[in-house]
Amino acid sequence: MSKACYRKLKNYKYQLMKDYVVSIPIKPAGVVNTKFIKLTMAGKLTVKDRYSWDGASGPAIDTKSIMRGSLVHDALYQLMRERFLDYKKDRKAADKVLRDICRQDGMSKLRARYIYDGVRLGGRKSAKPPKKVKDKIICVP
């Protein structure tokens, strides 16, 4: 009899139903291409179909004006955690991308500033790559 092995994941609230493509000012030294995210050296970000993200973080609420920004921001922070981007160098630019997309989508300047300040103050831990610790794999009979 084979074992069923799994790992625990954090919950996500949303899943992308088709690829989303946007140009951003973050330009890596080489093409980054993961299962769910692609970023070219020209700054073309593709968040791929079925990517999952959790929307707005902290006390911010999910509204239409934050959804696209939170999608892109979560993808960029994921690339930082996975060491495809340098969180020390690229995090501020990613936070500005969030703010700018929110403004494009109709968010007020005041709320966009609040969102930006929030990720600047509290986002470092979410962008910082973890220490090299393997997932705990659980196997059951």
pLDDT tens, residue by residue, 98-134: 999 999 999 999 999 999 999 999 989 999 998 876 6
How is the chain split into domains, by residue range?
7-125
pLDDT digits (tens, 9 = 90+) for 28-83: 999 999 999 999 999 999 999 989 988 888 788 889 999 999 999 999 999 999 99
CA distance 71 to 140: 34
Residue 1: the pLDDT is 46
